């Protein structure tokens, strides 16, 4: 018997990022909407063709969206916040999506875009729908129905994907007034700024949405659709009782007595405490993700035991979050056991949408030691069908880097902060409220041109080095003129804060086309950790020392921390994240030592993604924090008492983790503050943060010159809880996305504000 096979979704960017390029051309007015649609439908078609070619039994439809699936669903439900409404009335649904996501559209007034935030524990970002208490819905699913019609050409049973009613509401937010919803574009680093929202008041919209879903199901049924995949990923979270109760109510109302099969999908975790709830919902089937099961947990067996006799169970065996080939022999054991219990009620699937892995490995030049061990989205389709057909022998086993039980014991600095800080102050001799920046300066077209020429072999290594040195010299001269106290080299030589270090460390492989959608048309190319991490030689010392030699001021070195390196890479297949993180930390620890030996007195270890790997369930979080904090401490452990360690986070939601942030024990932390309405500083006040802090005094995402009074407010507020001796003045993130003119204007104001404040403080004392 061949089992049903399906995926939960496929990457929509296209193997060569066609959709990205087409969208960006469209936004610039270079191609028409018709041309964009053509290119998009070509990708949609090739995604379906890939499923057909691989031999999947169900064709997945509706996962293809232009910007984000939650956004698309919101627009199809007519959820257009008031600030967009007048202009949006002139636009069709596609342009409405772009307008809400970007805050701009041709011939429309610019307004603040929808907020975006991380999709569960992935690096994908969705747009957060904004609902008002009197929200009206006006459904129009004609584009989805047109998609279904296009898919019919394949003569294959169709499964349509939809965001589940409850997950959709859970991930939305209620805004009381139009003004409270003002939000700025997400951080340039792709970092998340809020966590998943679970405001139970969004449940008030259940009754309004139920008939819309029921009606849509009727229309899909009438179109000949066989199954609807209802994504309810919140079923893996620690759900409050009102959400659990809502599941029962919603699916009792939506249950079907005809043969439109509703398949409720959960992913990124096991069903956990929601198991009993989920198996008893009146739907045709459930999908579970087994890729996150702990060794020996066999949660899937519990699901099978409790599943009522007529229901379908789709088991997500092929890991949709990993770039490694599946161990098909091991998975086949699971399949055999499950099949004995379920017969043809067993479906085989990917654990989640394949959106989170790169599209296709076939155009990559994979190094010999990992050849045959990787699988991107296209390859995972083949794995799935091989598993269903029992064709297992041709498959190579996945990477088998053995667990070395890496015997490194995480170290930390010997002296307490108070002792270190005193020694550092004596050595650094900085003014009160020192001014600095977060690391990067504008990535100008001359930097990009030099790098492109070097990559193409048109510029020699020596000429490239000279070109970068020129940029560094320029950045140093600018900072001197501006009168900043602690200078940086500007990061001209770095493409990306993770990729740069990954390219210099052993143990990483950088693919050429391994792009993954981060948000909208933005893609990232996460490095892949393929072996033990080693630092063959110093990575930053030469650049930093070059900068240091150009000035009498202190130059702060810039490194990327181990937790961020790990969270923005694909981890290896068979090693614990903790172990890999400690290896990365060891590499950074050595770099810290080398920088220090070369005479660098301040070293910043960026941890922009420190919080991003946090497990979804509370019960698993303590373990993560333990190794994340220890890894950071380990990096800093080679610093002498008078070497000052900074860290930076472009993140503000510290309510639930200030204890861990404190435990990192950086001498100075610079953080995003300006956008979070200073709430962050309340958290610091409540918890009496012990070390030094540089609250970002202005938002670098805005091209506008910051207002001195606003910057001053941040510091005045900070001074209420943190003594001036422990305060720094800096922007809230790196300046690489700004131009020099904006940067000079902003920093002039910043330095001016600092000087004035210093004068006032010394007059008072």
- Asked if 673 contacts 697 with a C-beta cutoff of 8 angstroms, the reply is yes
- Piece of 435-443, 457-465, 521-529, 753-761 that binds ligand GLN (CB under 6 A): 435-443
Q: Binders of ligand GLN among 155-214, rule CB under 6 A?
A: 189
- Asked whether residue 579 is marked as a ligand-binding residue, the answer is no
318, interface contact from ligand GLN, Zn ion, none, CB < 5-8 Å by kind: none
Token reading at 518: 């981060």
Token reading at 39: 């290119």
Q: How far apart are CA 34 and CA 380, in angstroms?
A: 32
Contact flag: residue 334 with Zn ion (CB under 5 A): no
- In this structure, the dihedral spanned by the alpha carbons of residues 233, 236, 240 and 245, taken in order and rounded to 10 degrees, is 70
382, interface contact from ligand GLN, Zn ion, none, CB < 5-8 Å by kind: none
Contact flag: residue 650 with ligand GLN (CB under 6 A): yes
Q: Binders of ligand GLN among 594-613, rule CB under 6 A?
A: 606, 608
Among 70, 114, 225, 438, binds ligand GLN (CB under 6 A): 438
The owner of tokens 């003569």 is 155
Q: How far apart are CA 489 and CA 497, in angstroms?
A: 14
- Asked whether residue 16 is marked as a ligand-binding residue, the answer is no
- Piece of 85-93, 294-302, 307-315, 731-739 that binds ligand GLN (CB under 6 A): 731-739
- Piece of 136-144, 437-445, 526-534, 744-752 that binds ligand GLN (CB under 6 A): 437-445
Radius of gyration of the chain (CA): 27
Contact flag: residue 650 with Zn ion (CB under 5 A): yes
- Piece of 58-66, 157-165, 175-183, 644-652 that binds Zn ion (CB under 5 A): 644-652
| Burial profile 416-455: b = 16 or more Cβ within 10 angstroms, e = fewer | ebeebbebbeebbebeebbbbbbbbbbbeeebeebbeebe
User: Closest separation between CB of residue 518 and ligand GLN, Å?
Assistant: 13
Q: What three-state secondary structure class fits 518? A: strand
C-alpha 478: how far from chain center: 33
- Asked whether residue 20 is marked as a ligand-binding residue, the answer is yes
C-alpha 15: how far from chain center: 20
- Asked whether residue 635 is marked as a ligand-binding residue, the answer is no
- Asked whether residue 440 is marked as a ligand-binding residue, the answer is yes
The owner of tokens 């069903």 is 271
Contact flag: residue 440 with ligand GLN (CB under 6 A): yes
Among 497, 557, 595, 714, binds ligand GLN (CB under 6 A): 497
- Asked whether residue 733 is marked as a ligand-binding residue, the answer is yes
Q: What DSSP assignment string belongs to 720-755?
A: TTS-GGGB-BB-SS--TTS-HHHHHHHHHHHHHHHH
- Asked whether residue 438 is marked as a ligand-binding residue, the answer is yes
Nearer to ligand GLN, 62 or 439 (CB): 439
701 noted as active-site residue: yes
Contact flag: residue 550 with ligand GLN (CB under 6 A): no
Nearest to 561 by CA among 509, 613, 513: 613
Q: In what order do the strands lie in the sheet with 285-289?
A: 4-6, 346-350, 312-318, 285-289, 261-265, 227-231, 158-163, 59-61
Nearer to ligand GLN, 228 or 601 (CB): 601
- Piece of 65-73, 369-377, 434-442, 625-633 that binds ligand GLN (CB under 6 A): 434-442
Contact flag: residue 524 with ligand GLN (CB under 6 A): no
User: Closest separation between CB of residue 186 and ligand GLN, Å?
Assistant: 11
Task: Kindly name the residue from 182, 701, 710, 752 that is annotated as catalytic.
Answer: 701
Q: What DSSP assignment string belongs to 62-102?
A: S---SS-HHHHHHHHTT---HHHHHHHTTS-HHHHHHHHHH
Q: Binders of Zn ion among 704-733, rule CB under 5 A?
A: 733
Measured CA to CA in angstroms, residue 410 lies from 515, 577, 644, 760 at distances of: 33, 14, 20, 44
- Asked if 489 contacts 558 with a C-beta cutoff of 8 angstroms, the reply is yes
Among 430, 558, 681, 714, binds ligand GLN (CB under 6 A): 558
Which stretch of DSSP H or E encloses residue 217?
helix 206-222
Nearer to ligand GLN, 357 or 608 (CB): 608
Q: What three-state secondary structure class fits 178? A: coil
User: Closest separation between CB of residue 565 and ligand GLN, Å?
Assistant: 12
74, interface contact from Zn ion, ligand GLN, none, CB < 5-8 Å by kind: none
Token reading at 617: 């369930």
Q: Binding site membership: which residues?
A: 20, 123, 438-440, 491, 522-523, 568, 606, 648, 650, 672, 733
Residue numbers at the binding site for ligand GLN (CB under 6 A): 189, 438-440, 491, 497, 558, 606, 608, 648, 650, 733-734, 736
Q: Binding site membership for L-methionine: which residues?
A: 438-440, 491, 606
Which residues are identified as catalytic? Answer: 701
Q: Binding site membership for 5-methyltetrahydropteroyltri-L-glutamate: which residues?
A: 20, 123, 522-523, 568
């Amino acid at each position: 018997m061949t089992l049903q096979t399906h995926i939960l979704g496929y990457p929509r960017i296209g193997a060569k990022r066609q959709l990205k390029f087409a969208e960006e051309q469209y936004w610039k007015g270079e191609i028409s909407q018709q041309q964009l649609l053509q290119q998009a439908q070509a990708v949609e078609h090739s995604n379906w063709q890939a499923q057909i070619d691989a031999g999947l039994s169900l064709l997945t439809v509706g996962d293809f969206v232009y910007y984000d699936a939650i956004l698309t669903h919101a627009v199809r439900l007519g959820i257009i916040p008031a600030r967009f409404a007048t202009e949006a009335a002139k636009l069709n649904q596609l342009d409405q999506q772009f307008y809400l996501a970007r805050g701009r559209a041709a011939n429309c007034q610019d307004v603040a875009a929808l907020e975006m935030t991380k999709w569960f524990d992935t690096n994908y970002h969705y747009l957060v729908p904004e609902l008002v208490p009197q929200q009206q819905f006006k459904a129009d699913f004609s584009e989805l129905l047109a998609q279904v019609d296009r898919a019919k050409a394949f003569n294959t049973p169709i499964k349509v994907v939809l965001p589940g009613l409850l997950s959709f509401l859970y991930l939305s937010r209620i805004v009381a007034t139009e003004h409270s919803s003002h939000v700025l574009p997400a951080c340039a680093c792709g970092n998340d700024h809020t966590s998943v929202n679970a405001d139970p008041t969004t449940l008030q919209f259940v009754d309004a949405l139920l008939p819309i879903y029921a009606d849509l199901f009727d229309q899909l049924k009438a179109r000949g659709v066989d199954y609807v995949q209802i994504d309810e990923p919140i079923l893996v979270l620690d759900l409050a009782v009102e959400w659990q109760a809502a599941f029962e109510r919603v699916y009792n109302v939506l249950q079907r007595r005809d043969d439109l099969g509703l398949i409720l999908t959960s992913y990124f975790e096991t069903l956990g405490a929601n198991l009993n709830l989920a198996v008893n919902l009146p739907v045709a089937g459930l999908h579970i993700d087994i890729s996150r099961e702990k060794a020996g947990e066999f949660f899937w067996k519990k699901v099978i035991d409790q599943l009522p006799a007529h229901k379908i169970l789709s088991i997500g065996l092929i890991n949709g979050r990993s770039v490694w080939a599946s161990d098909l022999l091991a998975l086949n054991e699971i399949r055999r056991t499950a099949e004995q219990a379920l017969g043809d009620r067993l479906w085989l699937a990917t654990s989640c949408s394949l959106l989170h892995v790169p599209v296709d490995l076939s155009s990559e030049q994979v190094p010999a030691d990992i050849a045959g061990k990787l699988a991107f989205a296209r390859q995972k389709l083949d794995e799935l069908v091989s598993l269903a057909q029992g064709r297992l022998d041709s498959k190579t086993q996945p990477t088998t880097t053995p667990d070395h039980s890496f015997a490194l014991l995480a170290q930390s600095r010997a002296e307490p902060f108070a002792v270190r800080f005193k020694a550092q102050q004596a050595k650094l001799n900085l003014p009160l409220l020192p001014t600095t920046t977060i690391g990067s300066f504008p990535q100008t077209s001359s930097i990009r041109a030099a790098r492109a020429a070097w990559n193409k072999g048109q510029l020699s290594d020596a000429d490239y080095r000279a070109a970068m040195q020129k940029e560094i010299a320029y950045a140093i001269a600018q900072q001197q003129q501006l009168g900043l106290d602690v200078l940086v080299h500007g990061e001209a030589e770095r493409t990306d804060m993770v990729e740069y270090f990954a390219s210099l460390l052993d143990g990483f492989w950088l693919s050429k086309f391994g792009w993954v959608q981060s948000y909208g048309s933005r893609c990232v190319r996460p490095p892949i950790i393929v072996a033990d991490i080693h630092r063959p030689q110093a990575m930053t010392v030469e650049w930093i020392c070059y900068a240091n030699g150009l000035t009498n001021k202190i130059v702060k070195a810039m490194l990327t921390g181990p937790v961020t390196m790990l969270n923005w890479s694909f981890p290896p297949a068979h090693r614990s994240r903790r172990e890999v993180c400690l290896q990365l930390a060891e590499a950074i620890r050595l770099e810290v030592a080398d920088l220090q030996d070369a005479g660098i007195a301040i070293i910043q270890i960026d941890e922009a993604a420190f919080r991003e790997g946090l497990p979804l369930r509370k019960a698993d979080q303590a373990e993560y924090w333990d190794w994340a904090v220890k890894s950071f401490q380990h990096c800093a452990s080679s610093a002498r008492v008078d070497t000052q360690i900074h860290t930076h986070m472009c993140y503000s939601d510290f309510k639930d983790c200030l204890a861990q942030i404190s435990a990192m024990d950086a001498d100075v932390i610079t953080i995003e503050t300006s956008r979070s309405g200073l709430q962050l500083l309340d958290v610091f006040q409540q918890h009496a943060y012990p070390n030094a802090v540089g609250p970002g005094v202005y938002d670098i995402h805005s091209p506008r010159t910051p207002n001195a009074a606003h910057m001053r407010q941040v510091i005045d507020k900070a001074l209420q809880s943190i003594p001036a001796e422990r305060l720094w003045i800096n922007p809230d993130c790196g300046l690489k996305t700004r131009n020099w003119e904006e940067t000079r204007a902003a920093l002039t104001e910043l330095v001016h504000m600092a000087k004035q404040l210093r004068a006032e403080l010394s007059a008072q004392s």
